[in-house]
Structure 1
Amino acid sequence: MTLWTFIGRQWTSLPPAPNGDYLKGKVVLMTGANSGIGLESLKHFAGASPERLILCVRSVEPTEKIVLELQSLHENLKVEVVYLDLCDLNTIRSLPEELGKRGVERIDVVINNAGINPGNAVKDPDFTKDGYERTFQSNVLSPLFTSLTLLPLLSNSPKPKILFLGSGLHTSAETDLIERGLLEGESIVAVFNDRTGQGFDNRQIYGESKLLLQMLTRSLIPSLPNINIITVSPGLARTNLGRDFNFSPGFVIFGAPFLLLNARSAEKGARNVSSAVALAEQSYDYWAECGPSYSESSWLSSGNGIKACKAFYKEMIEEVEKISPGLTKELVV
């Protein structure tokens, strides 16, 4: 994506958030719902008459306070707040059991909103207790694992839908590590989770993780033909996602003003999410500016890009099988 394309997308006039009872009779599960895009999406959904909202978050108490505020505005709103940490696969593995205890028998919409941006500092990779690089696990592995873990509940819905939160940054992400894994016969998963940190750049990992997610969801769509899968790009928005950024003098003088000038509000970013929930009647590998769009990554359409997508998807399915044997049996390969 060129600079001018990015600016043009950011300044595109977006339609208002969908209104009406488009969630009537539907059960919606969303990760990361207490700040930024997630919080603003939650506000949209609260007015759309859902049967039940399930909010999976790390910070339970602050989320419960938000829920009370929303219920004062929407008195019939039913909400479950469930602890979930994308950096702890055990919390994802036990999610169906926890939902069963709360009487949840069906989910109609899963929104994988939670994720992290580790900032722009030069530092070594940080690994979770599960053994994966933190950004890779939070932004790529855990959203996939969460979605596959919830397939039995999604199968009880007449029109199930899964959303993944992507980013336009995938179009400008470095592809060196991916191509290293592809061309040198290494696992792409292993390359991104190399304990030595060879090739790791903390400043690039967020964009790389969103490229990996885009690769993954493209391959997941044909594997789950009975579920509408949409990768949504909310655009650059003013949220706390950049809380780990290092505000160096250069960034404060040049970078921050540019980002603040061109960033849309979190509410406008959330319109991309709520519009996909309300309007998307089929799978889309990219949804931006509140409608079906296209990825401007020329690399994804290249020979290496296509090969990498297939190889990475196979690796990720194998990785999930290691974590939870039998979980991928419903996929059409």
Structure 2
Amino acid sequence: MGFFYSQFFVRPTYPTRSFQGETVLVTGANVGLGLEAARHIVRLGASRVILGVRNVEAGEAAKMEIETSTGRSGVCEVWKVDLASYTSVLAFGDRIAQIPRLDAVILNAALATRTFEFAEGYERTITVNVINTLLLALLILPSLKATRQKVPSVHPCLTFVVSEVHAWADTTEFESGRSDLLKALSDPIKAKMRGRYPMSKLLEVLLVQELAGRVRGSEVMIDMVNPGLCHSQLGREAGVGFMIMKIVLARSTEVGSRTLVHGVSMGLEGHGVYMTDGQLENTALSPFVRSKEGGEVREKLWDELSMILEGVRPGIMENAQ
């Protein structure tokens, strides 16, 4: 199905899957899709919902709003995590490692901007949407695996929020022969910031594919969800054109958030799969992702990411097994 048909005529089903007794983490949960997904999960009976947010004050406001709307208090917790900072992500991951169980994770936090800035030595969008999103995933994988061991009836899920705009990325930015693709994309002279968000989502799709291929789905189910174009604060730095596009085409935030909840509701059949409109749609992945060239870029990216993350936390790549 095409983008316009999906936006105007398809409504993902309203989530009904019970989260009774479960602990769920949602990043970027103070606004937009993350907030609405967390609201659904609280409504559906989760015992503990961790709101991973950069702005704690906004997170506390989101917690109050969720509690008021669902009539359930004492469920949400607000934890600070800044995906532009290695130190913050490491501290957050270490804190997650201390909790007794973790059943489901929605990695939703992301950045869309046309302004070039460095964060941890890389262009900020690359750091937030790609490097530190995968760093966080690797930090929390042991907790998900441990839950599977402790509670065999539970099948932990790790969901990455990606986007169909990964297909819009300008793949000519991948300079032939270079093995340091993330570094090349962080060149302030050559960076094509107009298309940086689609590029970051293409990189994320490729790396999540690789991660899912290395982690047994029987231990942790890993998938990717495309929520469609939705009303949210994601594009607040992306320019006027993007804002106009959202006004005309965007789904409501609540409707889009249903796809995130469907992502963490999948069984083993969802492992490594790309979902759109709450359905398994691997054929909706871009031709580049499914091509031989895409596979070669995926391998280079994984090798480069591994070197970066081993420098941040030695031994972390062992979690991707």
Q: 1:218 aligns with which of 209, 215, 231?
A: 209
Distance apart, 1:11 and its partner CA: 2.1
Partner of 2:307: 318
Per-residue displacement from partner, 1:102-147 (whole Å, max 9, x unpaired)?
Answer: x61221111110001004xxx5x2101x212100011011111001
Q: What's the TM-score, normalizing by structure 2?
A: 0.90
- Look up the match of 2:152: none
CA distance in 1, matches of 2:80, 2:243: 33
Q: CA deviation at 1:241?
A: 1.4
* 2:24–2:46 contact (8 Å) kept in structure 1: yes
Q: Within the alignment, does 1:283 sit opposite 2:271 as a pair?
A: yes
Q: Does 1:104 align with 2:99?
A: yes
Deviation at 1:201, TM superposition (A): 1.1
2:200 is aligned, of 201, 206, 209, to 209
Which 4+ residue blocks in structure 1 deviate beyond 6 angstroms? none
Q: Which piece of structure 1 moves more, 106-115 or 59-68? A: 59-68
Determine helix, strand or coil for the equivalent of 1:150: helix
CA distance in 2, matches of 1:302, 1:172: 15
Once the two structures are superposed, what CA deviation does each residue of 1:163-192 show, in whole Å capped at 9, x if it has no partner? Answer: 1110110011111122x0xx2234112212
Q: CA deviation at 1:39?
A: 1.1
Distance (Å, rounded) in 2 between the aligned partners of 1:65 and 1:90: 25
Query: What's the CA shift for 1:280?
Result: 4.2
Contact 1:26-1:50 within 8 A present in 2 as well: yes
Task: Tell me the CA shift for residue 198 of structure 1.
Answer: 3.7
Task: Judge conservation of contact 2:122–2:182 (CA < 8 Å) in 1.
Answer: no
| Structure 1 residue 245 displacement after superposition | 3.3
1:23 aligns with 2:13: no
What is the rounded CA distance, in whole Å, between the counterparts of 2:238 and 2:144 in structure 1? 37
Q: Is the 8 A contact 1:46 1:77 kept in 2?
A: no
Structure 1 residue 32: deviation in Å?
0.6
Cα separation, 2, equivalents of 1:29 and 1:86: 15
**Counterpart of 1:330?**
319
Asked if the contact 2:274/2:285 (under 8 Å) is kept, the reply is no
Counterpart amino acid of residue 239 in structure 2: N
Q: CA deviation at 1:257?
A: 4.7
Which ranges of structure 1 fall in alignment gaps of 5 or more residues? none
1:227 aligned onto 2:220: yes
* Aligned-pair Cα RMSD in Å: 1.9
Describe the shift of the 1:185–1:132 C-alpha distance in structure 2 as closer, same or farther (beyond 3 A).
closer
Q: Identity over aligned residues, as a percent?
A: 28
Rounded to whole Å, the distance in 2 between the matches of 1:49 and 1:256 is 35
Q: Of 171, 178, 181, which aligns to 1:185?
A: 178
The Cα of 1:259 is off from its aligned counterpart by: 3.7
In structure 2, runs of 5+ residues without a counterpart are: 149-154
Mapping for residues 80-159 of structure 1, pairs under 5 Å: 80-99=77-96, 104-119=99-114, 125-128=116-119, 130-158=120-148, 159=155
Deviation at 1:279, TM superposition (A): 3.4
Q: Secondary structure at the match of 1:93?
A: helix
Q: Name the residue aligned to 2:57.
A: 61
Deviation at 1:76, TM superposition (A): 5.0
